[in-house]
Amino acid sequence: MIKTKRENIQFIDLKAQQARIRGQIETRIRKVLDHGQYIMGPEVRELEAQLSAYAGVKHCITCASGTDALLMPLVAWGIGPGDAVITTPFTFISTAEVLALLGATPLFADIDPLTYNLDPAQLEKVLRSGRVKKNGLKVKGIIPVDLFGQPADYEEIERFARQYGLWVLEDAAQAFGAEYNGRKTCSFGDVAATSFFPAKPLGCYGDGGAIFTNDDDLAEKLRSIRVHGQGSDKYDNVRIGINGRFDTMQAAVLLAKLEIFDEEIALRNRAAGRYSEQLSGKFVAPAVKEDRSSVWAQYSLLSEDRDAELARLKELGIPTAIYYPKPLHLQEAFRYLGYSAGDFPVTERCAGRIFSIPMHPYLEEAEQDYIIKGLLG
């Protein structure tokens, strides 16, 4: 029983991280102020080189947001009306939103009940569904999401994609730094996208994203699309593009953060291990499979009485969040797709029970003990 309420527990503690590397960040930002190349400056090129080496991928193309990182490959491939792409309904809206923006059709597949990632066993069912035949859709690819920091089942997903001639776009917005069979995220599929939103395990101090690929031709197109379809110069436009350029200040911040990133991943996993060890008797957390690791962008639990749990934790000063309370197939924005409640039972059951508790590298053991005691009642 907790007798004294603990104050100032942070859901994600960016201040503690900044205090640790404030000097490095300020030094790098001063360099940007000195040279004055505020967009696509030398730090952007330095960051891209470091990120591509880290992920083990030939090309890294930074961009203005994680959403742009998903959108730009679709633009490069000419995805549009009549095309369909299979993805998960249990994710942030941007995963499917980019498809709708181009006039393409998201096709949802249910999730794995243990990892909450896209279930590869559902892909064949979706591909053969009446929804595809009835609307005359051409299924072009798959967008798996590395949810909460754990890679999706890429061996099975890529095998399926090869069988049917589909591309794979890895949505690693929550999982940069995680591994699957010894390979880093952002190295799977034909192309990968990640986000540097501040709350991500590797986040900047604004919006930002990056795209990864080993395809030389695709990389060239992406660099053009990033700058309004630029050709030989900014007034030579060879294709339709977007304003997806990355800010040099944000690159400077990420370069400082990269220096401690692997250590922070280890600290996240230590905190996750303590949670799992002590909460497993009462709560269910996402299972991390033996052939992969997670960077624990969130630490999420399932509860049959979520509202009561959240109310009790609030009284104790323990912050919480829900990712994601309403699946994409039930969102008003996607009503036109014609999905209904009950179409994806695993997703819907998870969405109705899930909540997340504080998770970051600077979570003190005493704070964690307090959170665990609060959860165990």
Which pLDDT does position 350 carry in this prediction? 98
Domain boundaries, the chain: 18-109+117-258, 260-376
Q: Are 272 and 294 in contact, with CB atoms under 8 Å apart? A: yes
Which pLDDT does position 6 carry in this prediction? 78
**Strands 105-108 vs 138-143: parallel, antiparallel or unpaired:** unpaired
* Backbone phi and psi for residue 131, each to the nearest 5 degrees, phi listed first: -60, -40
Cis peptide before 324 (omega within 30 of 0): yes
CATH 1.10.8.60 fits 260-376, yes or no: no
* Both tokens assigned to 73: 């490959």
Which pLDDT does position 352 carry in this prediction? 98
pLDDT in tens, the chain (377 residues): 565 677 789 999 999 999 999 999 999 999 999 999 999 999 999 999 999 999 999 999 999 999 999 999 999 999 999 999 999 999 999 999 999 999 999 999 999 999 999 999 999 999 999 999 999 999 999 999 999 999 999 999 999 999 999 999 999 999 999 999 999 999 999 999 999 999 999 999 999 999 999 999 999 999 999 999 999 888 999 999 999 999 999 999 999 999 999 999 999 999 999 999 999 989 999 999 999 999 999 999 999 999 999 999 999 999 999 999 999 999 999 999 999 999 999 999 999 999 999 999 999 999 999 999 999 98
Which pLDDT does position 4 carry in this prediction? 66
The third-level CATH classification (topology) of the domain covering 18-109+117-258 is: Aspartate Aminotransferase; domain 2 (3.40.640)
* Both tokens assigned to 129: 């569904």
Q: Is the pTM of this model over 0.95?
A: yes
Rg (CA), the chain: 21
Which pLDDT does position 292 carry in this prediction? 97
Triad 154, 157, 158: Cα angle to 5°: 80
Q: Do domains 18-109+117-258 and 260-376 have the same CATH topology?
A: no
Which pLDDT does position 338 carry in this prediction? 97
**Residues 298, 296: Cα–Cα separation, whole Å:** 5
Which pLDDT does position 81 carry in this prediction? 98
Q: Are 237 and 222 in contact, with CB atoms under 8 Å apart? A: no
Least Cα distance to 294 among 266, 322, 333 occurs for 266
**Residues 246, 250: Cα–Cα separation, whole Å:** 8
Which pLDDT does position 7 carry in this prediction? 75
* Both tokens assigned to 256: 């400082």
